[in-house]
Protein backbone atom coordinates (compact mmCIF):
# COMPACT_ATOMS: atom_id res chain seq x y z
CA UNK A 1 0.00 0.00 0.00
CA UNK A 2 1.26 3.46 -0.90
CA UNK A 3 0.78 6.30 1.57
CA UNK A 4 1.23 9.94 0.52
CA UNK A 5 3.70 12.15 2.34
CA UNK A 6 1.92 15.49 2.56
CA UNK A 7 2.88 18.95 3.77
CA UNK A 8 1.12 19.30 7.15
CA UNK A 9 -0.75 22.35 8.37
CA UNK A 10 1.83 24.26 10.39
CA UNK A 11 0.02 27.43 11.43
CA UNK A 12 -3.24 29.30 11.08
CA UNK A 13 -1.98 31.87 8.56
CA UNK A 14 0.66 29.79 6.76
CA UNK A 15 -0.27 28.62 3.23
CA UNK A 16 3.08 27.39 1.89
CA UNK A 17 6.48 26.17 2.99
CA UNK A 18 9.93 25.49 1.55
CA UNK A 19 11.54 22.05 1.66
CA UNK A 20 14.72 22.77 3.57
CA UNK A 21 16.27 19.32 3.31
CA UNK A 22 15.41 15.62 3.06
CA UNK A 23 16.70 13.48 5.91
CA UNK A 24 16.04 10.28 3.95
CA UNK A 25 17.02 9.28 0.41
CA UNK A 26 14.87 8.32 -2.51
CA UNK A 27 14.31 4.54 -2.40
CA UNK A 28 15.45 4.25 1.21
CA UNK A 29 13.62 2.11 3.77
CA UNK A 30 12.12 4.19 6.56
CA UNK A 31 10.54 3.38 9.90
CA UNK A 32 7.44 4.90 11.43
CA UNK A 33 8.23 8.19 13.24
CA UNK A 34 11.49 8.65 11.31
CA UNK A 35 12.08 12.29 10.37
CA UNK A 36 11.69 12.41 6.58
CA UNK A 37 12.28 16.07 5.81
CA UNK A 38 12.57 19.53 7.28
CA UNK A 39 10.12 22.21 6.17
CA UNK A 40 10.96 25.91 6.45
CA UNK A 41 7.96 28.16 6.94
CA UNK A 42 7.92 31.92 7.33
CA UNK A 43 8.05 31.44 11.09
CA UNK A 44 9.90 28.26 11.99
CA UNK A 45 11.24 24.87 10.90
CA UNK A 46 8.89 21.89 11.03
CA UNK A 47 9.84 18.21 10.90
CA UNK A 48 7.70 15.83 8.83
CA UNK A 49 7.75 12.25 10.11
CA UNK A 50 6.89 8.91 8.51
CA UNK A 51 3.45 7.57 9.35
CA UNK A 52 4.33 3.98 8.39
CA UNK A 53 7.22 1.65 7.71
CA UNK A 54 8.08 1.30 4.05
CA UNK A 55 10.17 2.55 1.13
CA UNK A 56 10.31 6.27 0.45
CA UNK A 57 9.69 7.73 -3.00
CA UNK A 58 10.44 11.47 -3.31
CA UNK A 59 8.56 13.74 -5.72
CA UNK A 60 9.60 17.24 -4.54
CA UNK A 61 13.14 18.47 -4.10
CA UNK A 62 14.98 20.47 -1.46
CA UNK A 63 14.40 24.17 -2.12
CA UNK A 64 10.94 23.65 -3.67
CA UNK A 65 8.12 25.88 -2.42
CA UNK A 66 5.11 23.67 -1.72
CA UNK A 67 1.53 24.39 -0.69
CA UNK A 68 0.09 23.15 2.57
CA UNK A 69 -1.50 19.76 1.89
CA UNK A 70 0.63 19.08 -1.22
CA UNK A 71 2.08 15.60 -1.77
CA UNK A 72 5.88 15.58 -1.73
CA UNK A 73 6.46 11.83 -1.73
CA UNK A 74 5.07 8.39 -0.98
CA UNK A 75 5.83 5.52 1.37
CA UNK A 76 5.28 2.05 -0.11
CA UNK A 77 4.64 -0.32 2.78
CA UNK A 78 5.06 -3.32 0.45
CA UNK A 79 8.16 -2.06 -1.36
CA UNK A 80 11.77 -3.05 -0.95
CA UNK A 81 14.61 -0.60 -0.52
CA UNK A 82 17.00 -0.18 -3.44
CA UNK A 83 20.45 -1.71 -3.01
CA UNK A 84 21.90 1.80 -3.02
CA UNK A 85 19.31 4.47 -2.41
CA UNK A 86 19.87 7.57 -4.51
CA UNK A 87 20.01 10.97 -2.81
CA UNK A 88 16.81 12.97 -2.81
CA UNK A 89 16.08 14.56 -6.17
CA UNK A 90 18.41 12.43 -8.35
CA UNK A 91 15.81 10.11 -9.82
CA UNK A 92 15.46 12.28 -12.95
CA UNK A 93 19.16 12.13 -13.81
CA UNK A 94 20.60 9.64 -16.26
CA UNK A 95 23.14 8.31 -13.78
CA UNK A 96 23.13 8.58 -9.99
CA UNK A 97 25.46 11.20 -8.61
CA UNK A 98 28.32 9.79 -6.62
CA UNK A 99 28.10 11.08 -3.09
CA UNK A 100 31.23 12.83 -1.93
CA UNK A 101 32.32 13.21 1.70
CA UNK A 102 31.26 16.84 1.53
CA UNK A 103 27.62 15.94 0.94
CA UNK A 104 27.19 13.91 4.10
CA UNK A 105 25.07 15.29 6.94
CA UNK A 106 28.01 15.82 9.27
CA UNK A 107 31.51 17.23 9.17
CA UNK A 108 34.65 15.13 9.37
CA UNK A 109 34.63 15.47 13.16
CA UNK A 110 31.17 13.95 13.33
CA UNK A 111 29.42 17.16 14.27
CA UNK A 112 26.03 17.53 12.54
CA UNK A 113 25.45 20.29 10.02
CA UNK A 114 22.36 22.46 10.18
CA UNK A 115 19.88 22.21 7.25
CA UNK A 116 21.00 25.61 5.92
CA UNK A 117 24.65 24.53 5.95
CA UNK A 118 23.82 21.14 4.42
CA UNK A 119 22.05 22.85 1.53
CA UNK A 120 25.00 25.11 0.70
CA UNK A 121 27.46 22.21 1.04
CA UNK A 122 25.41 20.01 -1.29
CA UNK A 123 24.73 22.72 -3.89
CA UNK A 124 28.41 23.67 -4.16
CA UNK A 125 29.93 20.20 -3.61
CA UNK A 126 32.10 21.49 -0.75
CA UNK A 127 34.46 19.16 1.12
CA UNK A 128 34.14 20.02 4.82
CA UNK A 129 36.73 17.53 6.05
CA UNK A 130 39.46 20.16 6.53
CA UNK A 131 37.22 23.03 7.59
CA UNK A 132 37.05 24.30 11.16
CA UNK A 133 33.82 25.75 12.47
CA UNK A 134 33.21 28.84 14.57
CA UNK A 135 29.86 27.69 15.91
CA UNK A 136 29.03 26.01 19.21
CA UNK A 137 31.30 23.02 19.93
CA UNK A 138 33.22 23.76 16.72
CA UNK A 139 30.23 23.23 14.39
CA UNK A 140 30.33 24.72 10.92
CA UNK A 141 28.08 27.74 10.48
CA UNK A 142 26.56 29.15 7.31
CA UNK A 143 29.10 31.96 7.47
CA UNK A 144 32.02 29.50 7.63
CA UNK A 145 30.86 27.74 4.46
CA UNK A 146 30.13 30.96 2.54
CA UNK A 147 33.54 32.31 3.51
CA UNK A 148 35.19 29.16 2.12
CA UNK A 149 33.53 29.69 -1.26
CA UNK A 150 35.32 32.96 -1.89
CA UNK A 151 38.61 32.26 -0.08
CA UNK A 152 41.88 31.15 -1.62
CA UNK A 153 41.95 28.31 0.86
CA UNK A 154 38.83 26.59 -0.47
CA UNK A 155 39.03 22.83 -0.20
CA UNK A 156 40.37 20.97 -3.27
CA UNK A 157 37.10 19.25 -4.05
CA UNK A 158 34.93 22.34 -3.87
CA UNK A 159 33.49 23.63 -7.11
CA UNK A 160 33.57 27.38 -7.62
CA UNK A 161 30.04 28.76 -8.08
CA UNK A 162 28.96 30.37 -11.32
CA UNK A 163 29.68 34.05 -10.93
CA UNK A 164 28.55 37.05 -12.89
CA UNK A 165 31.63 39.14 -13.58
CA UNK A 166 31.52 42.88 -13.24
CA UNK A 167 31.67 45.00 -16.41
CA UNK A 168 35.30 45.91 -15.61
CA UNK A 169 36.43 42.28 -15.81
CA UNK A 170 34.41 41.23 -18.88
CA UNK A 171 34.60 44.24 -21.19
CA UNK A 172 37.11 44.14 -24.04
CA UNK A 173 37.07 47.92 -24.45
CA UNK A 174 40.07 49.89 -23.22
CA UNK A 175 39.58 51.84 -20.04
CA UNK A 176 38.94 55.57 -20.27
CA UNK A 177 41.89 57.89 -19.59
CA UNK A 178 42.50 58.36 -15.88
CA UNK A 179 42.53 61.88 -14.47
CA UNK A 180 45.16 63.11 -12.06
CA UNK A 181 45.34 60.69 -9.08
CA UNK A 182 43.54 61.70 -5.92
CA UNK A 183 45.55 59.30 -3.76
CA UNK A 184 49.30 58.70 -3.45
CA UNK A 185 50.86 56.57 -6.16
CA UNK A 186 51.31 52.89 -5.31
CA UNK A 187 47.82 52.40 -3.86
CA UNK A 188 45.63 52.94 -6.92
CA UNK A 189 44.69 49.37 -7.83
CA UNK A 190 41.55 47.67 -6.55
CA UNK A 191 40.88 43.97 -6.92
CA UNK A 192 37.26 43.06 -7.60
CA UNK A 193 36.36 39.78 -5.92
CA UNK A 194 33.81 37.26 -7.06
CA UNK A 195 30.12 37.70 -6.36
CA UNK A 196 27.70 35.03 -5.27
CA UNK A 197 23.93 35.26 -5.11
CA UNK A 198 22.41 33.30 -2.21
CA UNK A 199 18.59 33.06 -2.18
CA UNK A 200 16.88 34.37 0.92
CA UNK A 201 15.38 31.67 3.10
CA UNK A 202 11.65 31.69 3.77
CA UNK A 203 12.20 32.86 7.33
CA UNK A 204 14.61 35.60 6.27
CA UNK A 205 12.04 36.86 3.73
CA UNK A 206 9.40 36.97 6.43
CA UNK A 207 11.72 38.76 8.83
CA UNK A 208 12.39 41.38 6.16
CA UNK A 209 8.66 41.80 5.49
CA UNK A 210 7.83 42.17 9.18
CA UNK A 211 10.57 44.73 9.77
CA UNK A 212 9.33 46.87 6.89
CA UNK A 213 5.74 46.38 8.08
CA UNK A 214 6.67 47.57 11.57
CA UNK A 215 8.38 50.68 10.21
CA UNK A 216 5.57 51.54 7.79
CA UNK A 217 2.53 50.90 9.98
CA UNK A 218 3.54 51.99 13.49
CA UNK A 219 4.59 55.37 14.87
CA UNK A 220 7.77 54.05 16.49
CA UNK A 221 9.63 56.11 19.07
CA UNK A 222 12.40 55.05 21.46
CA UNK A 223 13.14 56.27 24.96
CA UNK A 224 16.30 55.46 26.95
CA UNK A 225 17.42 55.08 30.53
CA UNK A 226 20.35 53.50 32.33
CA UNK A 227 20.37 50.87 35.04
CA UNK A 228 22.87 50.39 37.86
CA UNK A 229 23.53 46.64 37.87
CA UNK A 230 25.40 46.58 41.21
CA UNK A 231 22.73 44.91 43.35
CA UNK A 232 21.69 42.46 40.65
CA UNK A 233 25.31 41.43 40.11
CA UNK A 234 25.76 41.02 43.87
CA UNK A 235 22.71 38.73 44.11
CA UNK A 236 23.81 36.65 41.14
CA UNK A 237 27.32 36.27 42.52
CA UNK A 238 25.99 35.36 45.95
CA UNK A 239 23.52 32.71 44.83
CA UNK A 240 24.75 31.50 41.42
CA UNK A 241 26.50 28.40 42.80
CA UNK A 242 23.54 27.32 44.94
CA UNK A 243 21.15 28.04 42.06
CA UNK A 244 23.25 25.95 39.67
CA UNK A 245 23.55 23.14 42.23
CA UNK A 246 19.78 23.02 42.85
CA UNK A 247 18.44 23.58 39.34
CA UNK A 248 21.29 22.63 37.02
CA UNK A 249 21.22 25.91 35.08
CA UNK A 250 22.95 29.27 35.42
CA UNK A 251 21.35 32.22 37.18
CA UNK A 252 21.21 34.79 34.41
CA UNK A 253 19.95 38.36 34.04
CA UNK A 254 16.99 37.59 31.77
CA UNK A 255 14.85 36.15 34.54
CA UNK A 256 15.19 39.32 36.62
CA UNK A 257 14.56 41.60 33.64
CA UNK A 258 11.49 39.54 32.67
CA UNK A 259 10.06 39.90 36.18
CA UNK A 260 10.83 43.63 36.17
CA UNK A 261 9.09 43.99 32.78
CA UNK A 262 6.00 42.17 34.05
CA UNK A 263 5.68 44.52 37.04
CA UNK A 264 6.05 47.48 34.68
CA UNK A 265 3.42 46.06 32.30
CA UNK A 266 0.99 45.73 35.22
CA UNK A 267 1.55 49.40 36.05
CA UNK A 268 1.27 50.53 32.40
CA UNK A 269 -1.19 48.17 30.62
CA UNK A 270 -1.06 50.15 27.35
CA UNK A 271 2.44 48.77 26.76
CA UNK A 272 1.00 45.24 26.92
CA UNK A 273 -1.78 46.01 24.40
CA UNK A 274 -2.28 45.80 20.62
CA UNK A 275 -3.92 48.08 18.12
CA UNK A 276 -6.67 46.00 16.51
CA UNK A 277 -8.19 48.02 13.68
CA UNK A 278 -9.70 51.04 15.40
CA UNK A 279 -9.74 49.36 18.83
CA UNK A 280 -7.22 48.90 21.62
CA UNK A 281 -6.87 45.23 22.57
CA UNK A 282 -5.79 44.90 26.20
CA UNK A 283 -4.40 41.68 27.68
CA UNK A 284 -4.71 40.50 31.25
CA UNK A 285 -1.92 37.97 30.73
CA UNK A 286 1.80 38.39 30.18
CA UNK A 287 3.38 36.42 27.35
CA UNK A 288 6.95 37.67 27.02
CA UNK A 289 8.87 37.12 23.79
CA UNK A 290 12.62 36.60 24.20
CA UNK A 291 14.64 37.33 21.04
CA UNK A 292 17.05 34.52 20.12
CA UNK A 293 19.69 34.81 17.39
CA UNK A 294 20.15 31.73 15.16
CA UNK A 295 21.98 30.88 11.94
CA UNK A 296 18.67 31.24 10.12
CA UNK A 297 17.83 34.65 11.56
CA UNK A 298 16.28 36.23 14.63
CA UNK A 299 13.45 34.33 16.31
CA UNK A 300 11.28 35.45 19.23
CA UNK A 301 9.92 32.43 21.14
CA UNK A 302 7.32 33.33 23.74
CA UNK A 303 7.41 32.52 27.45
CA UNK A 304 3.66 32.21 28.07
CA UNK A 305 2.07 33.26 31.37
CA UNK A 306 5.47 34.41 32.61
CA UNK A 307 3.85 36.26 35.50
CA UNK A 308 2.93 32.90 37.04
CA UNK A 309 6.47 31.52 36.83
CA UNK A 310 9.29 31.45 39.34
CA UNK A 311 12.72 32.82 38.50
CA UNK A 312 13.94 29.29 37.79
CA UNK A 313 10.97 28.50 35.54
CA UNK A 314 11.58 31.64 33.48
CA UNK A 315 15.32 30.95 33.15
CA UNK A 316 14.64 27.31 32.26
CA UNK A 317 12.06 28.26 29.62
CA UNK A 318 14.49 30.75 28.02
CA UNK A 319 17.29 28.15 28.02
CA UNK A 320 14.98 25.52 26.48
CA UNK A 321 13.93 27.88 23.69
CA UNK A 322 17.54 28.87 23.01
CA UNK A 323 18.53 25.21 22.59
CA UNK A 324 15.51 24.51 20.37
CA UNK A 325 16.32 27.54 18.21
CA UNK A 326 19.96 26.48 17.86
CA UNK A 327 18.90 22.98 16.78
CA UNK A 328 16.18 24.22 14.41
CA UNK A 329 13.40 22.74 16.59
CA UNK A 330 11.39 25.91 17.25
CA UNK A 331 7.74 25.31 16.37
CA UNK A 332 5.09 27.75 15.20
CA UNK A 333 3.26 27.56 18.54
CA UNK A 334 6.48 28.59 20.31
CA UNK A 335 6.47 31.89 18.42
CA UNK A 336 2.81 32.88 18.68
CA UNK A 337 0.89 34.85 21.29
CA UNK A 338 3.51 37.29 22.61
CA UNK A 339 2.27 40.53 24.18
CA UNK A 340 5.68 42.18 24.74
CA UNK A 341 9.27 41.36 23.76
CA UNK A 342 12.79 41.66 25.17
CA UNK A 343 15.96 41.66 23.08
CA UNK A 344 19.51 41.64 24.43
CA UNK A 345 22.03 43.16 22.05
CA UNK A 346 24.51 43.28 24.89
CA UNK A 347 25.51 39.66 24.31
CA UNK A 348 27.08 40.86 21.03
CA UNK A 349 28.70 43.92 22.63
CA UNK A 350 26.07 46.52 21.70
CA UNK A 351 26.22 49.56 23.98
CA UNK A 352 23.03 51.22 22.70
CA UNK A 353 20.40 50.54 20.03
CA UNK A 354 16.81 51.25 19.03
CA UNK A 355 14.99 47.90 18.78
CA UNK A 356 12.20 47.45 16.22
CA UNK A 357 8.71 46.41 17.24
CA UNK A 358 7.55 42.84 16.79
CA UNK A 359 4.02 43.34 15.31
CA UNK A 360 1.33 43.36 16.53
CA UNK A 361 3.03 44.14 19.84
CA UNK A 362 3.26 47.77 20.90
CA UNK A 363 6.52 47.68 22.83
CA UNK A 364 9.94 46.03 23.00
CA UNK A 365 12.70 46.41 25.59
CA UNK A 366 16.32 46.51 24.44
CA UNK A 367 19.04 45.40 26.88
CA UNK A 368 22.68 46.24 26.25
CA UNK A 369 26.25 45.64 27.34
CA UNK A 370 27.09 46.10 31.03
CA UNK A 371 30.03 48.48 31.28
CA UNK A 372 31.81 50.09 34.21
CA UNK A 373 31.24 53.85 34.11
CA UNK A 374 31.79 56.81 36.37
CA UNK A 375 28.49 57.94 37.89
CA UNK A 376 27.47 60.31 40.67
CA UNK A 377 25.96 58.62 43.75
CA UNK A 378 25.10 60.73 46.81
CA UNK A 379 27.30 63.54 45.53
CA UNK A 380 30.30 61.27 44.99
CA UNK A 381 31.82 60.05 41.72
CA UNK A 382 31.97 56.24 41.83
CA UNK A 383 32.52 53.42 39.35
CA UNK A 384 29.44 51.28 38.79
CA UNK A 385 28.44 48.53 36.32
CA UNK A 386 25.88 50.31 34.15
CA UNK A 387 23.55 49.21 31.34
CA UNK A 388 21.65 51.38 28.90
CA UNK A 389 18.10 50.16 28.31
CA UNK A 390 15.78 51.24 25.50
CA UNK A 391 12.03 51.01 25.04
CA UNK A 392 10.74 51.25 21.49
CA UNK A 393 7.00 51.78 21.43
CA UNK A 394 4.05 52.58 19.19
CA UNK A 395 3.13 56.19 19.89
CA UNK A 396 -0.39 55.58 18.55
CA UNK A 397 -1.27 53.70 21.74
CA UNK A 398 1.51 54.63 24.21
CA UNK A 399 2.11 58.23 25.23
CA UNK A 400 5.51 59.60 26.17
CA UNK A 401 4.55 59.79 29.84
CA UNK A 402 3.67 56.09 29.97
CA UNK A 403 6.76 55.05 28.01
CA UNK A 404 9.08 56.91 30.37
CA UNK A 405 7.17 55.65 33.42
CA UNK A 406 7.38 52.08 32.15
CA UNK A 407 11.15 52.27 31.69
CA UNK A 408 11.62 53.87 35.13
CA UNK A 409 9.60 51.01 36.63
CA UNK A 410 11.87 48.46 34.93
CA UNK A 411 14.92 50.38 36.19
CA UNK A 412 13.59 50.37 39.76
CA UNK A 413 12.94 46.63 39.67
CA UNK A 414 16.38 45.71 38.35
CA UNK A 415 18.22 48.11 40.67
CA UNK A 416 16.35 46.76 43.70
CA UNK A 417 15.80 43.06 42.85
CA UNK A 418 14.36 42.17 46.27
CA UNK A 419 11.22 44.15 45.44
CA UNK A 420 10.59 41.81 42.50
CA UNK A 421 10.25 38.91 44.92
CA UNK A 422 7.56 40.63 46.98
CA UNK A 423 5.83 42.39 44.05
CA UNK A 424 6.16 46.04 45.07
Determine contact, residues 305/287, Cβ cutoff 8 Å: yes
Of the listed 241, 305, 327, 395, which one is catalytic? 395
Q: Which helix (H) or strand (E) holds 27?
A: none
Structural domains in the chain, CATH included, are 2-76 (2.40.50.100), 101-150 (no CATH), 203-422 (3.30.559.10)
Q: Where are the strands (E) in 232-379, listed by range?
A: 274-276, 279-281, 288-290, 292-294, 297-299, 302-303, 340-344, 363-367, 371-377
DSSP classification of residue 86: B
pLDDT in tens, the chain (424 residues): 888 998 888 765 677 888 888 988 888 999 988 888 888 876 677 888 888 899 999 998 888 888 888 999 999 888 776 654 554 444 444 444 444 443 444 554 555 677 667 777 777 777 777 777 766 566 777 667 776 665 444 443 434 444 444 444 444 445 555 555 554 555 555 667 788 888 777 777 777 887 888 888 899 999 999 999 999 999 999 999 999 999 999 999 999 999 999 999 999 999 999 999 999 999 999 999 999 887 777 788 999 999 999 999 999 999 999 888 888 788 778 888 999 999 999 999 999 999 999 889 999 999 999 999 999 999 999 999 999 999 999 999 999 999 999 999 999 999 999 877 665 5
Contacts of 212 (CB under 8 A, 6+ apart): none
Residue 325, Cβ neighbours under 10 Å: how many? 25
Question: Whole-angstrom Cα distance, residue 422 to residue 260?
Answer: 12
Asked about 64 being catalytic, the answer comes back as no
* Residue 165: predicted pLDDT: 43
Of the listed 53, 130, 372, 399, which one is catalytic? 399
Contacts of 31 (CB under 8 A, 6+ apart): 50, 53
Question: Whole-angstrom Cα distance, residue 285 to residue 269?
Answer: 10
- What is this structure's pTM? 0.63
Question: Whole-angstrom Cα distance, residue 26 to residue 58?
Answer: 5
Determine contact, residues 44/331, Cβ cutoff 8 Å: yes
Asked about 399 being catalytic, the answer comes back as yes
Determine contact, residues 383/373, Cβ cutoff 8 Å: yes
Q: Which helix (H) or strand (E) holds 61?
A: none
Question: Whole-angstrom Cα distance, residue 267 to residue 277?
Answer: 24
Amino acid sequence: MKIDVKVPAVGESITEATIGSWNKKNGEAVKRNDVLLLLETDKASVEVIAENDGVLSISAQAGDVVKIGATVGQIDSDGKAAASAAPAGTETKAAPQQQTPSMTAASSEGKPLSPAVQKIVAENNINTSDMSGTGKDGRLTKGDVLMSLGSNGATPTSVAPAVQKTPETTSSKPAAPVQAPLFPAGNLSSKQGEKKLVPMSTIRKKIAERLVEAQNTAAILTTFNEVDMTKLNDIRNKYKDKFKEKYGINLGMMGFFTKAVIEALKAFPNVNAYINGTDFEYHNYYNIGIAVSTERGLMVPVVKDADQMSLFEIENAIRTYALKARDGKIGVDDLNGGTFSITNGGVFGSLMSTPILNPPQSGILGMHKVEDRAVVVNGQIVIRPMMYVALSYDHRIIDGKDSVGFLVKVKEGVEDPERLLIGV
